[in-house]
Chain A
Amino acid sequence: MSAISIKELSVTRGKVHALQSVTFDVKPGTITGLIGPSGSGKTTLMRTIIGAQAYQHGDVEILGKPAGSAQLRKKIGYVTQSPAVYRDLTVHQNLQYFASIIGAKKNQITSLLERLDLTRQRRQLAGDLSGGQLARTSLAIALLGDPEILVLDEPTVGQDPILRDELWKLFHELAQQGKTVLVSSHIMNEAVHCHRLIMLRDGKLVANTTAVELQKRTGSRDLDDAFLALVRRGVAS
């Protein structure tokens, strides 16, 4: 069974066709990269998956249930692009609150703080953190309660190369534990870390592929160039 199954999904926001007839499946225990320039529909797609965005046409099933079902709320961890964290609470207080809402165990807070290199910042107000620390706090909250599906909107933005590497290691570990990870990025070179790539442009799916396949198909080693080649070809045909 697919962890995420999307069929013919179309989303119109106001007059904008944010997503047009998008179809793809995500296997459990994999990392899928959602790649595309800004405005391509990545965030809308993620919000539809977590159930925050209404859709006009198509089917979106998560773990066999329609997106937005109440039973899914415990099973999906979501990180928004701008960190949704209470800036007038400390890092620890933020985690404490969300842990009590989700019903996560207390000792998970300590291990997550350690894992995301936030132990020293745990008593700092979130509003005083650096951009990278704030983003990691938001990620820590999403990991509370061990959700089966993680939907992460640009989680590596603003992280230094060492931490970015650490985060990808973490995502791989989670996938090995059987979690399904969906990560969006506009940085093409991050695509090499993903098992599969979903490429979006102007709300349409341009490719459902892997990094290796993409390089083969376009004949370019650099993923940025490969994406450009793919898009230009799509426009030409």
Chain B
Amino acid sequence: MSIRRTFATAARVGKQLSHDHRTMGLILFVPSLLMTLMYFLFENNHQTFNAIGGTMLAVFPFVIMFLVASIATLRERTGGTLERLLALPISKLDIIFGYALVFGLLAVLQVSIALVVSTMWLDLNVVGSVWNLLLVASIDSILGVALGLCVSAFARSEFQAVQFMPALVVPQILLCGLFVPRDKMADWLHAISDFLPLTYAVEAINRILKFETVDDVFWRNVAIIILAAIGLLILGALTLRRRTK
């Protein structure tokens, strides 16, 4: 790995995005708009907004960053530039981390905007620390980036990549405890949800929404999300092939 090549790749991905204002706008503001929509949806039941809306701060960016990251790397693959890059002296991790750096930064920006909008204008009530909420939502959207980068290796076309959304992301949303509390689930579903990283993000956020201080379980969850993201990024790099059969 080389720091210079990782940063050169990040700078390049950043420049690509800077030519695409619409994509930038969508990435930065869609979660805030969705939060606003939720606010009006639960206008007469602000408590529900507080419970669900808070969790959604982790779910929306996770989904959006997953899609953006998987399509972006797939374009590199189908456009032939990935093959060109891999014939050059660059490590696979330089490419993956370059992408992760830019999209991770965007993810943090996106979450920050949504958090400011939610707490200042939508009266989202956070009992615990807003900074912890920002932390969890950010690493969770970086997890979305990592998952997107990783699965794009298994997709040969944009069609297939988009299908990974319902296949890999929706089950995580269904089983993360948002619709049915995890302790009310059938044992086997509960067991599956133990292996889904989004579960830990939602659990961590629920703690921030309800309690003033955070406990060890909170930090354990944060660690799990970070490790899952790093693991997926390395797995994504391993799937890049310099040579085809």
Contact = CB atoms under 8 A, between A and B. Distances in A.
Check if A and B associate: yes
Interface of A: 13, 47, 50-54, 68, 70, 73-74, 76, 78, 80, 82-89, 93, 97-98, 100-103, 125, 141
B160 interface: no
B58 to A, nearest CB: 30
Contact of A86 (B11, B12, B243): B12
Contacts, number: 73
A76 B87 contact: yes
Nearest to A72: B87
25 contacts: A50-B87, A51-B87, A52-B83, A52-B87, A53-B244, A70-B89, A73-B88, A73-B89, A76-B87, A80-B80, A80-B83, A82-B80, A84-B80, A84-B83, A84-B84, A86-B81, A88-B16, A93-B12, A97-B9, A100-B5, A101-B9, A101-B85, A101-B90, A102-B89, A103-B89
What's the dominant secondary structure at chain A's contact region? mixed
A13 B245 CA distance: 7
B57 to A, nearest CB: 30
B19 A52 contact: no
A101 B90 CA distance: 7
A89 B15 contact: yes
Given A70-B89, A85-B81, A89-B16, 15 more contacts: A51-B242, A53-B244, A54-B243, A54-B245, A68-B243, A84-B81, A86-B79, A88-B20, A89-B19, A93-B12, A93-B15, A97-B11, A97-B12, A100-B8, A101-B85
A52 B80 CA distance: 12
B86 interface: yes
A171 to B, nearest CB: 20
A82 B243 CA distance: 19
B81 A101 contact: no
A56 to B, nearest CB: 9
A187 B242 CA distance: 30
B8 A97 contact: yes
CB-based closest 6 A-B pairs: A84-B80, A100-B8, A84-B84, A97-B12, A73-B89, A88-B16
Nearest to B245: A54
Nearest to A13: B245
A78 B87 contact: yes
Contacts of A50: 87
B4 interface: yes
Interface string B1-30: 000110011011001100110000000000
Given A89-B15, A97-B8, A101-B5, A53 B83 contact: no
